[in-house]
Chain A
Amino acid sequence: MKKQKSIFLNIDWTIVLLYILLVFIGWLNIYSAVYNENHKNMLDITQNYGKQLIWIATSVILAIFLLLIDSKFFSIFSYIIYGIGILLLIAVLFIGKEVSGARSWFQIGGLAFQPSEFAKFATILAIAKYLSSHNIKIKYLKTKIITAAIIGIPAILIFLQPDAGSAIIYLSFLFVLYREGMSGNIFIVLLIALILFSSALLFNKFIVIGVLAVIVLFFLFFIRKKRKEIIILSTIFLLCVGFVYSVDYIFENVLEKHQKDRINVLYGKTKDIKGVGYNVNQSKIAIGSGGFSGKGFLQGTQTKYNFVPEQSTDFIFCTIGEEWGFIGSSVVIILFIGLFTRIIFIAERQRYRFSRIYGYGTAAILFFHFIINIGMTLGIAPVIGIPLPFFSYGGSSLWSFTILLFIFVKQDADRLKIL
């Protein structure tokens, strides 16, 4: 049959092209960020840009390999893969290599491996498998509990490493659950919590509560006589007040010092541009100084003279901002948004629910990395050390994102085989 002629004819070339573009642009910027006069050779494997080339090459091999595997493999073995992921996450807590206070890595000889990266797509597979099972509806309590457990277990294990940044990524699954029927109210609750948290830190608590009270009275005015609503509204109000009062406690006692610092920097409460605010400030300087059209490839002074720490990894977006300006940065953002939109679009055309859920999971994970990473470099999200997909230097993350994406590409390529 025509459809089965070749896997490569059925794959979605738009996604693949976007992938190639992003990886290539990422590598160019790593070259620029690491560049020094003594090592100009782009293929020099003693330098990070040389090493990244190896990671890219191996990722391509990985992608081709994934395309050749039967698409059913992942749906059949998803629980097993998830199980392995969980075991690895448990194991890393005990035998992982400690790097700056966290046990996140296995070190085997010269190779390092980060199980939390593996756990990302393992979790998506498990969710997809579970929610696509027969007779599962998200409105059932049992479904909710099991789903929460599938997502929560790896998140908690990662949180224990501790690696709060990677754990927070698991919040992205809310998008998947929303698409599969979960109530959208959770977003409203999260949004209100975020607003309250921010206002409680920024303003006097009495003002915050006063504003809340005004809003509640406003609503009460419209629903005067309905007792039930009045009770609900009052409960919400009391919960909010309670939350506002607990913010200080959460902030002072639950958060670590560096987390508090980063939040203070974000809200402009700390202007310590030599200390905790240094990264973000230098990052904004780098991006801001790029201007409309940028300083040109290898011409960024912030980049060239290493004013931004970790520029080839978490702060890679600075390089784009500085050397390619507003034009270049916007193009990259559009490419990313294009990729996410395309994944959602493709996911929606799947006949098989497993594939659709997996697609949404992929988009959600990538989108969360994107929003946090770029938000951080632009100074509108707190500093959370997570990579920019396909851009940031590093083998583990590039492999992990490649696997994540190409499992989906393969699912899509085989979509017509499913009757």
Chain B
Amino acid sequence: MKNTYSHRKYVIYIILGITGAVFIFRLLYIQVINDKYKLSASNNVLRYVTDYPARGLIYDRNGKLLVYNEATYDLMVIPRNIKNIDTTELCNLIDISKEIFIKKIKKICKYSMYKPSVFEKQISKESSGYLQEKLYKFYGFYVQTRALRKYPLPVAAHTLGYISEVNQNIIEKDKYYKSGDYIGKSGIEKTYEKILRGQKGVKIKLVDVFNREKGSFQDGKYDTASIAGKNLYISIDAELQAYGELLMKNKKGSIVAIEPSTGEILALVSSPSYNPNLLVGRIRSKNYENLAHDKLKPLFNRALMAQYPPGSTFKPVEALVGQQMGVLSPETKYECHGGFHAGSITVHCHNHRSPLDLKEAIQYSCNTYFCKVFKAIINNSNFKTTQNAFNIWRKNILSFGLGKKFNNDLAYELSGNIPTAKYYDKYYGKNRWSYLTIISLSIGQGEIELTPLQLANVSAIIANRGYYYTPHILKDIGNKYNINKKYKEKHFTSIDTKYFDIVVEGMYLVVEAGTGRWIKMDSLSICGKTGTAQNPHGKDHSVFMAFAPKDNPKIAVSVIVENAGFGATWAAPIAGLVIEKYIYREVKRKNIEKRIMNCNLISEN
């Protein structure tokens, strides 16, 4: 029989061939070309269990514990692993309502189905223990141990800073952080985050479709152990810090104390302050809200971020610059009869004898004297133009570490302000300003602004007779001395050392028999300078800078009490007490202490 349709077998063969080819190309695509599925398979079967290291502890310069960790437990969830759970039971265990549960889960699902998210933060020790036992019932949930920071001495809140949960921004920028991790947000916690946090470890576990652990991946070949964070020793003297905070109670302002021979910051008080324990744990967000809305701005670190005109405390600097620029010598005398008069401008001065030489001018804080010094600087024919003279003056001023940030290990400092010639050109017009226009700079007023830290550093420079170490907060990491080299480097000012003695002498006289004589101590030679800074915010700021002892100084201090009046009235005695406390470890002048502590300078405004 003839087979008429025999050729059709070829069509069938071709169909078979095409089918085989299509399948093989599809396999080639999903198995060899596309990598997506390999990743998904790993995601299915591998669980990366993070091994959290303990965050480093923080001690003060004498080894007193300032910050430690307390264990807390977070309930974590990986939404895609959730399977047939008894929601009601879980809600009862962690004591939340079902509505909140659903709301939270929805929010987390939106963020990611695959990544672990914090479901409930900082659950109590009791319920976490109970939860651990029942956890096998709740696929997708697990408990993660974390640490909360605790502060045995509630001091130096601004300096220590705080840690908080990372936000989405940080997670995207830095792969180290995962949802629910903590990061230093301010202060030392921020600057030394990388040293304090240590290194997270990871254990890779195999799980089956029910999320049951099936052992470690390749016998733990790829597991890494966590490395604990290093402990920090900071230069703060906790006792001095606490004392300073006590003195500043009910006052706005700050105290900064520096060890001139090292640049180590001994105390950094910003008042009003807050108890660092308030910004920890579940109470954190509520307390933060309260502090952020407080009219007195307790979260604002005045020691680094407030910028004040230094007032008369700037006169020693002018004295140094004047000598360096050759217009002033210790013997230079100027008359003063109640003020400095030129054209329509009068800068008033208080009552004192006349004429005065340089050290006496510092001693009595004569405005007229320093106006005349400034006039001599700016109008000196050696410097040709006003602008040129001003620029040289400014350069000398900047060498005191002013007008710029230290870029040290304190987060969020501001740079203060030393005005530029350009600024005046713009403001008054080119060549349309003279020494007289900017005469207030001579007495630390006008556009000039310093942070309390800068002022303390100026004091340290004079104490050192001409140089400073960048003020810093870190003393030691762990057990090994391992401090950044830049803090070991001497920064010299542009002023010759020989010009310092007369200024030190003047500052000594301030306390011995001048404007600051109320804080004189028989056993200790204190050098200081008062300041009463006019400002647009109300009553004058009470300012004082000092160091002691006169020879081989141990401590340099700046004190600013906002809107409190004369420097001699408040800032000077506070500085005196801080110096006494630091040098003798106890304060004998109880009457002064009592007067300061009992005084509330905030309510006066």
Contacts A175-B15, A302-B45 given; 10 further ones with Cβ under 8 A? A178-B12, A274-B80, A288-B36, A289-B38, A301-B206, A307-B45, A307-B209, A333-B27, A337-B17, A363-B12
Any B CB within 8 A of the CB of A378: yes
Query: Are B41's CB and A378's CB within 8 A?
Result: no
| Distance between B169 CB and nearest chain A CB, rounded to angstroms | 28
B1, B4, B17, B32: the one contacting A291 at CB < 8 Å is B32
Name which residue of chain B comes closest to A360, CB basis.
Answer: B12
Residues in A with CB closer than 8 Å to B605 are none
A284 to B36, CA, bound (A): 10
Name which residue of chain A comes closest to B28, CB basis.
Answer: A326
Residues in A with CB closer than 8 Å to B31 are 287-288, 290-292, 321, 325-326, 329
B6, B13, B19, B24: the one contacting A330 at CB < 8 Å is B24
Residues in B with CB closer than 8 Å to A306 are 208-209
Any A CB within 8 A of the CB of B426: no
Known A301-B41, A302-B44: A337·B209 in contact at CB below 8 Å: no
A282 to B253, CA, bound (A): 65
The interface centre, meaning the residue of B31, B42, B207 with most chain A CB atoms within 10 A of its CB, is: B31
Residues in A with CB closer than 8 Å to B80 are 274
Any A CB within 8 A of the CB of B342: no
Any B CB within 8 A of the CB of A11: no
Binary CB contact string for chain A from 324 to 335 against chain B (1 if under 8 A, 0 otherwise): 011001100110
Residues in B with CB closer than 8 Å to A274 are 80
Any B CB within 8 A of the CB of A205: no
Query: Are A374's CB and B23's CB within 8 A?
Result: yes
A292, A301, A353: the one contacting B44 at CB < 8 Å is A301
Q: Kindly identify, within residues 504 to 563 of chain B, every residue whose CB is under 8 Å from any CB belonging to chain A.
A: none
Any A CB within 8 A of the CB of B34: yes
Name which residue of chain A comes closest to B4, CB basis.
Answer: A181
Any A CB within 8 A of the CB of B16: yes
Residues in B with CB closer than 8 Å to A282 are 44
| Complex A-B: 8 CB contacts under 8 Å | A179-B8, A180-B5, A287-B30, A288-B34, A305-B207, A305-B208, A305-B214, A333-B20
A229 to B359, CA, bound (A): 119
Chain B interface: which of A120-128, A258-266, A340-348? A340-348
Binary CB contact string for chain A from 164 to 195 against chain B (1 if under 8 A, 0 otherwise): 00000000000100111100100000000000
A378 to B41, CA, bound (A): 15
Any B CB within 8 A of the CB of A404: no
Q: Which residues of B contact A (CB under 8 A)?
A: 1, 4-6, 8-9, 11-13, 15-17, 19-20, 22-24, 26-28, 30-32, 34, 36-38, 40-42, 44-45, 80, 206-209, 214
Query: Are A330's CB and B27's CB within 8 A?
Result: yes
A291 to B4, CA, bound (A): 47
Binary CB contact string for chain A from 293 to 320 against chain B (1 if under 8 A, 0 otherwise): 0000000011011110000000000000
| Distance between B406 CB and nearest chain A CB, rounded to angstroms | 55
Residues in A with CB closer than 8 Å to B206 are 301, 305
Give the A-B contact count at a CB cut-off of 8 A. Answer: 113
Residues in A with CB closer than 8 Å to B34 are 288
Known A274-B80, A288-B41, A291-B32: A329·B27 in contact at CB below 8 Å: yes
Residues in B with CB closer than 8 Å to A344 are 9, 12-13, 16
The interface centre, meaning the residue of A181, A333, A336 with most chain B CB atoms within 10 A of its CB, is: A333
A181, A301, A321, A348: the one contacting B27 at CB < 8 Å is A321
Known A306-B208, A378-B26: A289·B41 in contact at CB below 8 Å: yes
Any B CB within 8 A of the CB of A390: no
A372 to B4, CA, bound (A): 31
Query: Are B44's CB and A378's CB within 8 A?
Result: no
Give the interface size class of chain A.
35 or more
Residues in A with CB closer than 8 Å to B40 are 285, 288-289
| Distance between A351 CB and nearest chain B CB, rounded to angstroms | 9
Residues in A with CB closer than 8 Å to B19 are 337, 367, 370-371
Any B CB within 8 A of the CB of A398: no
Residues in A with CB closer than 8 Å to B23 are 333, 374-375, 378
| Distance between A325 CB and nearest chain B CB, rounded to angstroms | 6
A286 to B28, CA, bound (A): 14
A274 to B113, CA, bound (A): 11
Query: Are A307's CB and B27's CB within 8 A?
Result: no
Any B CB within 8 A of the CB of A61: no
Name which residue of chain A comes closest to B208, CB basis.
Answer: A305
Binary CB contact string for chain A from 35 to 66 against chain B (1 if under 8 A, 0 otherwise): 00000000000000000000000000000000
Residues in A with CB closer than 8 Å to B27 are 287, 321, 326, 329-330, 333, 378
The interface centre, meaning the residue of A184, A306, A371 with most chain B CB atoms within 10 A of its CB, is: A371
Residues in B with CB closer than 8 Å to A76 are none
Residues in A with CB closer than 8 Å to B37 are 284-285, 287-289
Any B CB within 8 A of the CB of A380: yes
Known A292-B31, A341-B16: A353·B1 in contact at CB below 8 Å: yes
| Distance between A176 CB and nearest chain B CB, rounded to angstroms | 10
| Distance between A338 CB and nearest chain B CB, rounded to angstroms | 9
